[in-house]
Amino acid sequence: MKQDTVRHLPAQDPPVETGPIRFGDDTTGVFIRADNALAFSIAVRSLLQDKQMESVCSVVWRAQMENLWRLLESSRRADHKNGDAMGFAG
């Protein structure tokens, strides 16, 4: 799952929205727009910091949620050429 670099693909018209997406004959994946990723990362971080949730969550669940949180946060650190609101370092 680790990906250190941003893949730059041609612009789409209309822009791609958050949801299922398939590239060519590849399997269907999920695309999450930066604004949605920020909102989801805040929600996941809130769950991870909830002390009541900590006592009932398995180690595996927590590890997966931490991986998801890091993936969602990565959109904040990406180098956004268009200078949108998500292009700041975090």
Task: Give 6's contacts (C-beta < 8 A, 6+ positions apart).
Answer: 78, 79
* Domain limits, the chain: 32-77
Residue 57, burial from CB neighbour count under 10 angstroms (0-12, 13-18, 19+): middle
- pLDDT tens figures, 25-82: 999 888 898 888 888 888 888 888 887 777 777 877 888 888 888 888 777 665 454 4
pTM of the predicted model as reported, rounded to 2 decimal places: 0.62
Token pair of 68, please?
């998801």
Token pair of 18, please?
């958050």
